[in-house]
Amino acid sequence: MSALRYVSTRGRAPAASLSDAIAAGLAPDGGLYVPEQLPTIDPSAFDPKGDLAATAATLLAPFFAGDALADALPAICAEAFTFDAPLRPLARPDALVLELFHGPTAAFKDFGARFLAACLRRLRGEDARALTILVATSGDTGAAVGAAFHGQPGVRVAILYPDGRVSPRQAHQLGSFGGNVQALRVAGSFDDCQRMVKAALNDGDLQRDVPLSSANSISLGRLLPQMGYYAHAALGWWRMHGTPLDFIVPTGNLGNALACLWARAMGLPIGEVRLACNANTTLPEFFAGGDYRPRDAVATIANAMDVGAPSNFERLRWTWRGNDDALRRDLHAESLDDAAIRTTLLRHAREHGGVVCPHTATALALLDREPVRQGRAWCVVATAHPAKFETVLEPLLGQPVPVPPPLAAMLDRPAQAEPLAPDEATLDRWLRARSG
Ligand SMILES: *Cc1c(COP(=O)(O)O)cnc(C)c1O
């Protein structure tokens, strides 16, 4: 098979191999890497008895064909997908929950972070200089990336997070690694953190002195594996019921939802896809017919989705070949404010005895608006374990949220973060001062 090439969404960077695209993070023209074209795959190509790692390896094989990492793909998937993504029934007969929070840091970000780490471990080879992984986080990415790279020789991780805008437990997790993983609390928003990381990655001078890579959802090494759990869930449903599975995805930076849409575009049995957003309305306004207008993020109780300028929007537009009308026909996004999220959390706890995280609640709120159907099912994507958001949930529900053991272990460790001003020059100085 000839190797798939990867190009920039902005079209002004040379085509790259998958390995190079993963190592670089961002394309040199500031765009995001995408495959020259999305491969397709027949659902019958998957082993019906295969586990999640096997499904991911089959799904991703065409992306890796001909690349230096191709032979290692099954091993990479086995290292990344060491925990399950179970589908559980909801109280109504036409709905399920896909639980993506059974990894070490209790959010779906563990899948992508572990896959990226497994790729970079193999790509680093003999380079003697330490590689610095930069990651901007709205709460969960940083911990997942920190956990995935913690203790790995030759790699340092710098996590930038918006000070005061992540949950206390998220902040504790971010600062709890020590060693090669440093947390930086930025006096600004997630979008500031993301802008600073992008500027550093685009700065050729800095890159010559401090080898940098990114672990944000702009990295293909995180985006591609996220398709795995959508494929696995949809195939399982389709084999039993013969219908595609419809998804409602809590959305911030559009990484998780884009993975779902790419899996659908490849030919997997995925039907409708709905985006559930919090009070950050950039996407809902676009899908309601408005212009795409990135703006500052507003803080909400679903903080990991506090994004006003979703970076993967460039990839979304690329996927629809720049045809915004077609994009608006094929996809919907809705905004839920904090009051609606709280109402849904309470109702869900009362009616189902279940506690979900505030992000998952945005998706449940959209499900609530749908009439019960015959023969088709909605799959609500549960993006994090509720115990990460106890300061929102416990006062509301009046009961403690049990903490899963890996999260409890992380919370037992001391935590530390350095303050950082929200500008590119400060990050540049910080990186140079700590390199070498
Ligand atoms: C990151 C995150 C989201 C948003 O995912 P995107 O890929 O940025 O759209 C939603 N919920 C939780 C818990 C998250 O950590």
Helix (H) or strand (E) holding 316, with range, is: helix 313-319
Measured in degrees and rounded to the nearest 5, phi and psi for residue 165 equal: -115, 15
Question: Across-strand partners of 420?
Answer: 186
Q: What tokens appear for 56 in the block?
A: 């991911």
| pLDDT tens, residue by residue, 83-140 | 999 999 998 999 999 999 999 999 999 999 999 999 998 987 666 678 899 999 988 8
Give CA–CA dist 379/361, Å, rounded.
13
145 CB-near residues (< 8 Å, 6+ apart): 109, 113, 116, 117, 133, 135, 137, 157, 159, 215
CA of 409 to the centre of ligand 1 (A): 23
The residue that leads in pLDDT, 94 or 25, is 94
User: Which residues does ligand 1 sit against, CB inside 6 Å?
Assistant: 107, 109, 139-140, 217, 250-257, 304-305, 357, 359, 383-384
Give CA–CA dist 283/285, Å, rounded.
5
Which of 108, 258, 393 for a ligand 1 pocket mutation test, highest count of atoms within 8 Å of Cβ?
108
Mean pLDDT computed over 387-398: 93
In one-letter notation, the amino acid at residue 59 is: L
199: left (phi over 0), alpha (psi -120 to 50) or beta: alpha
Specify the pLDDT at position 143. Answer: 95
Q: Is the pLDDT of residue 371 over 70?
A: yes
Give CA–CA dist 188/74, Å, rounded.
40
Measured in degrees and rounded to the nearest 5, phi and psi for residue 131 equal: -95, 135
Specify the pLDDT at position 125. Answer: 66
| pLDDT tens, residue by residue, 277-332 | 999 999 999 999 999 999 988 999 999 999 999 989 999 999 999 999 999 999 99
CA of 305 to the centre of ligand 1 (A): 6
Give CA–CA dist 13/16, Å, rounded.
9
Closest alpha carbon to 149 in 179, 124, 117, 127? 117
CA of 8 to the centre of ligand 1 (A): 23
Q: Which of 109-118, 211-220, 248-257 has the lowest mean pLDDT?
A: 211-220
Mean pLDDT computed over 210-228: 91
Specify the pLDDT at position 216. Answer: 77
| pLDDT tens, residue by residue, 154-174 | 899 999 999 999 889 999 999
Measured by CA distance, the residue closest to atom 15 of ligand 1 is 140
Which of 359, 366, 392 for a ligand 1 pocket mutation test, highest count of atoms within 8 Å of Cβ?
359
Which of 230, 305, 336 for a ligand 1 pocket mutation test, highest count of atoms within 8 Å of Cβ?
305
Measured in degrees and rounded to the nearest 5, phi and psi for residue 298 equal: -105, 150
Q: Is residue 37 within 8 Å of 31, Cβ to Cβ?
A: no
pTM of the model: 0.94
Alpha-helical (H) ranges within 25-178 are: 52-64, 73-80, 109-123, 141-149, 168-175
CA of 253 to the centre of ligand 1 (A): 7
| pLDDT tens, residue by residue, 49-62 | 999 999 999 999 99
Question: If you classify domain 84-104+221-400 with CATH, what class do you get?
Answer: alpha beta
CA of 388 to the centre of ligand 1 (A): 13
Atom of ligand 1 nearest to the CA of 226: 7
Give CA–CA dist 427/418, Å, rounded.
12
In one-letter notation, the amino acid at residue 301 is: I
Is 150 buried (19+), middle (13-18) or exposed (0-12) by CB count in 10 A? middle
Is 329 buried (19+), middle (13-18) or exposed (0-12) by CB count in 10 A? exposed
DSSP-assigned letters across all residues of 299-314: --SSGGG--SS-TTHH
Measured by CA distance, the residue closest to atom 14 of ligand 1 is 304
Residue keyed to tokens 């002004």: 12
379 CB-near residues (< 8 Å, 6+ apart): 87, 95, 96, 97, 98, 233, 234, 237, 245, 246, 247, 248
Q: How confident is the model at residue 267 (pLDDT cuts 50, 70, 90)?
A: very high
CA of 365 to the centre of ligand 1 (A): 16
Specify the pLDDT at position 114. Answer: 97
Highest mean predicted confidence (pLDDT) among 117-126, 135-144, 336-345, 402-411 = 336-345
Residue keyed to tokens 């559980």: 88
DSSP-assigned letters across all residues of 243-262: SPEEEEEE-SSSHHHHHHHH
Which of 105, 165, 224, 253 for a ligand 1 pocket mutation test, highest count of atoms within 8 Å of Cβ?
253
